[in-house]
Structure 1
Amino acid sequence: MPPFAPTLMQISGFARYIVAYPVFLKQRVPMSREKKVTPMKLAAGSIRRKRTNGCFTYRCQVNGRRTEISLQTKDYHEALKKVADLVPIAQAQTAEVVAAHVNQARGFVRQADDLPLEEAWDKYIRHPDRAMPQIHEILSYQASFSEFVEFATRPVTEEELRHRIPHTRVQLVKEVTPTVALEFAEYLRRLPIAVDTHNRKIRRIRKVFSVLNDYYIGDNPFRAKSLFRKPREEQNSIIRRQAFTKEEENRLLEELRSPAHRLMNKEEIRIVYIIGMYTGQRLKDCVLLQWQNVDLIHRRIYVKQFKTGKEVSIPLAVQLYDALMEAQKWKCDQYVCPKTAARYNKTDAYGKNVGNNLIDIDVVRVIRWIGLEPSVSVPGRKKKMTVYGFHSLRHSFASFCAEAGVPKAVLLSILGTESEIADKYYTHVGNEAQEKAIAAISGTTFENSDKTKLHKALEFIDQINGPLPGCMLQLREILMGA
């Protein structure tokens, strides 16, 4: 036997190797494929195997720090499924979003019931947490929410398609997302309505959704501040309510005494005007003034304001005292102006007050009699803006008090509120101080314009040669006292 001839044991060992090699290759094929895909880059992070035959891991960035999470599986496709559940958590921007995903994965998130938008108002109006304002405001809530429901459930219009305006059609309350709320807010912005009207609609709808929170998941879709408009959007077109002058107030009373124009309950309307002129109160407080709140002996009236609920006490001016004495001739119930009060309290079939508009029309009619236009058109708004109305008497009251030097605190005690009206007419209080400051900076001497005029008038009188007439002497004494 040649020396290089294999032994029997060598031959049998080689045979076993040849038989086992195909089995080894069969076992290694899947692993080789897995090796090719393990460094797979995903939308967020990457997936890889920890060791040669270990479990897959998911590597990603969380809050700027590299994090590696074990997927607890050796199967590549199962690992991909687990990564798909982890990607939203890795991409979350806030802790609240992360908690929401975790709770959903653990099955802690509640399931919202299906509630069609068309049936949502019926649920809201029977809910114990609903808003409970006056009937007219409840109807406004319903109108605003119905407007949203009509918008959200309708299909896309041709105009929206033509201008590529996004519109998401939904049917259920839980389908209303912040995106749908934003689309509705943009729709309102395209309407010719005031900023306050826009914001009131959004606030009402937000209240409805806050009550119906059992029918959607997450936060209120109308909670975002971006849904509201800012007052500065109207600063170029805003029209301020104007105050009456004393001459205009006298003309109003003259027209109400004149038989030239006819008006329902004209004498009572004149008394209402006088109450407004000499108290600065709102129309409702003047119309519904009761005799029990009038103290003719001590010449004072007491008003609990309907709007604010604040009680104010106001001394009676001579003109107002005479008007109230005149009103006693038709005293028949608790109201100073009974027929006008009954008309003001008139309601419709739903219980909504409609009499306030009737009285307001009567008041505006008198303003037109003296040649003033109560309202003007404003670009971008469907309804006209009021310039003159009964509320102008409140502005006039503040204006006259400011001109007479009445302290602002005293005015507020009569008007009954920290009113913008007072701020508007008391801005002149700081003008003199500002002029002094500018004079000091510029190196000039500040002179009060009123005092300068008085000195010039006295100098002019003193320059007159000869004896002064009696009227001039009296005028000089008046100026000296000023």
Structure 2
Amino acid sequence: MTKEDTTRRTKKRAHGTGSLIKKSNGVYAFQFRDASGKKITKSLGTRNRKEAEGLAEPLGAMASAKSRAEAVQQIAEAKDLIDARVLPLSEVWESFEGTRPTAGTGTMKLYQHALNRFKVWAKENRPSLTDITDIDEQTASDWLLSEWQGQISASTYNDRRGSMLTITNALMRPYRLPFNPWAKTERKKLAGKQQQRLPLSREHVQTLLDAEMQEDVKALMLLALCAGMRLKDAACLKWSNVGGGFITYTPAKTKNTSAAKVQVPILPLLANSLKRLPKDEDSEYVMPRLAAWYQRNSTGLSRMLVRELHKVTGKSLQDATGKGKVARSEYGYHSLRHTFCTETARAGVPAATLAAMAGDTISTVDKFYVKLDLSAQPIEELASIKSTLSLATGGADREREQLKQLADDLPLKVVREILKKHMKQQ
């Protein structure tokens, strides 16, 4: 054995002085047995091996403590050292990602954008601020005031404030931050009610169906109109998600939280549109051109769709605000999803079924998407959703009815015995 090998071995912690472990979240911890033989694990709050080894040194004394009193004293001394840790601003984002946030890709970009803006501001206005623990309530308020003076909207202001609040909240426990300086800063009140998307009328839908546009753009429109799909899910739809009379997919918006699959029957109108699309052997996407466009510039694709829908509804971009500039209007791609939910509810599809097809909760669909106008004419192309759904699930429904009939014919005592056996097997 060489001298170098011997040196490497002597770096191992001596027997009985505890061990350094790495938990599933990447954070190191120190594990040892106290004077009574009880196993104790102390988080070191860092993902850096070298830093963890330094923090573990004073904790090693706890493992070799011969009495409870001595161990308590060692713990107190070690805690002071751990609490003295710092987190440089340059490492905040990496550390935040290490907490495994459940936010989607778009939301994470908003968080990172807000943090980057704060770091640029701090470098110019608070050059001595280098660590997250240096941020106090006054600093937080000053940055938010600077952002507000940049003529941003109340919604953008609240997004940036919320981003910093969320990032700091996630880091408070692992880095033992004493308080969140963003918690006491105030949100801005939104001026008036935010403009919600409106569903298309029967006339609008007919104009859309008659309009001349590229086949993939028309199919993209119909995926929202006939299946209620959001833009990202529709633009990035794969052929593997289409089959058996259904579109089956996991919504991008909820894949990090619930990962529940959505299954929507394919209406004849949508089926015909999908059949007309040429299949690209080199791509898994239903609409390769639009999938690439969305991945490259989702905002640009969204604006193109808004322009097309404004042609359909007779609205112009200037009409949306009255100020001659592009802003959120009452009609956009999401209007097609609103139309799907409204017409599906009008067709008599149960609320729970509609919510499952929309990939949302019943309360959300009812509050934000369903806008029934009893005086409005139903859209014939979407009125068949209930019958299409019944045909697609007809086999299961018929079997359920047959089982109900059999249960009705059996004595009540027998039915109870069957149920008891079933419950025991669960």
TM-score range, shorter chain: 0.5 to 0.7
Which among 175, 184, 203 is matched to residue 247 of structure 1? Answer: 203
Matching residue of 1:221 = 181
Which among 364, 371, 374 is matched to residue 420 of structure 1? Answer: 364
User: Secondary structure at 1:144's aligned position in 2?
Assistant: helix
Q: Residue type matched to 1:255 in 2?
A: A
Give the superposition deviation at 1:270. Answer: 0.9
Identity %: 22
Give the superposition deviation at 1:327. Answer: 2.0
Give the superposition deviation at 1:188. Answer: 4.1
Which among 354, 376, 381 is matched to residue 411 of structure 1? Answer: 354
CA RMSD of aligned residues (A): 3.9
**CA–CA distance in structure 2, aligned partners of residues 322 and 313 of structure 1:** 19
Post-superposition CA distance 1:312-334 (Å, at most 9, x none): 11112111121122225666532
The answer to whether the 8 Å contact 1:408/1:426 transfers is no
Distance 1:245 1:129, change over 3 A: same
Post-superposition CA distance 1:275-309 (Å, at most 9, x none): 211101111111222222212xx422212211112
Q: Residue type matched to 2:182 in 1?
A: F
Alignment of 1:441-480 (within 5 A): none
Q: Residue type matched to 1:280 in 2?
A: G
Give the superposition deviation at 1:197. Answer: 2.6
**CA–CA distance in structure 2, aligned partners of residues 130 and 279 of structure 1:** 35
Q: Residue type matched to 1:389 in 2?
A: G
Matching residue of 1:302 = 248
The answer to whether the 8 Å contact 1:242/1:395 transfers is yes
Query: TM-score, length-normalised on structure 2?
Result: 0.56
**CA–CA distance in structure 1, aligned partners of residues 78 and 285 of structure 2:** 64
Of the two, which has the highest radius of gyration?
Answer: 1
Matching residue of 1:177 = 136
Q: Residue type matched to 2:237 in 1?
A: L
Matching residue of 1:324 = 274
Matching residue of 1:238 = 194
Distance 1:148 1:395, change over 3 A: same
**CA–CA distance in structure 1, aligned partners of residues 328 and 352 of structure 2:** 30
Which among 297, 305, 308 is matched to residue 355 of structure 1? Answer: 297
**CA–CA distance in structure 1, aligned partners of residues 107 and 277 of structure 2:** 34
**CA–CA distance in structure 2, aligned partners of residues 299 and 236 of structure 1:** 44
Distance 1:235 1:406, change over 3 A: farther
Query: TM-score, length-normalised on structure 1?
Result: 0.51
Which among 344, 356, 368 is matched to residue 294 of structure 2? Answer: 344
Post-superposition CA distance 1:30-69 (Å, at most 9, x none): xxxxxxxxxxxxxxxxxxxxxxxxxxxxxxxxxxxxxxxx
Distance 1:252 1:129, change over 3 A: same
Distance 1:267 1:171, change over 3 A: same
Segments of structure 1 that go 5 or more residues without pairing to the other structure are: 1-105, 156-167, 258-265, 346-353, 432-448, 451-482
Give the superposition deviation at 1:128. Answer: 6.9
Q: Residue type matched to 1:249 in 2?
A: V
Give the superposition deviation at 1:425. Answer: 5.5
**CA–CA distance in structure 2, aligned partners of residues 279 and 253 of structure 1:** 15
Post-superposition CA distance 1:193-241 (Å, at most 9, x none): 34443233123323444538898963122233x4334xxx225252222
Matching residue of 2:395 = none
Matching residue of 2:98 = 129
The answer to whether the 8 Å contact 2:236/2:291 transfers is yes
* Relative contact order, higher structure (CA 8 A, sep 6+): 2
Alignment of 1:374-413 (within 5 A): 376-377=320-321, 384-413=327-356
Alignment of 1:273-288 (within 5 A): 273-288=221-236
**CA–CA distance in structure 2, aligned partners of residues 108 and 334 of structure 1:** 54
**CA–CA distance in structure 1, aligned partners of residues 199 and 166 of structure 2:** 36
Which among 245, 264, 283 is matched to residue 333 of structure 1? Answer: 283
**CA–CA distance in structure 2, aligned partners of residues 182 and 216 of structure 1:** 22
Post-superposition CA distance 1:68-95 (Å, at most 9, x none): xxxxxxxxxxxxxxxxxxxxxxxxxxxx
Distance 1:329 1:126, change over 3 A: closer
The answer to whether the 8 Å contact 1:291/1:335 transfers is yes
Matching residue of 1:148 = 118
User: Secondary structure at 2:98's aligned position in 1?
Assistant: coil
Segments of structure 2 that go 5 or more residues without pairing to the other structure are: 1-76, 377-426
The answer to whether the 8 Å contact 2:344/2:354 transfers is yes
Distance 1:193 1:292, change over 3 A: same
**CA–CA distance in structure 1, aligned partners of residues 168 and 106 of structure 2:** 20
Distance 1:404 1:212, change over 3 A: closer
Q: Residue type matched to 1:339 in 2?
A: R
**CA–CA distance in structure 2, aligned partners of residues 219 and 409 of structure 1:** 42
Matching residue of 1:158 = none
Distance 1:336 1:125, change over 3 A: same
Distance 1:337 1:387, change over 3 A: same
Post-superposition CA distance 1:339-358 (Å, at most 9, x none): 2223323xxxxxxxx33223
Alignment of 1:33-52 (within 5 A): none
Give the superposition deviation at 1:153. Answer: 5.3
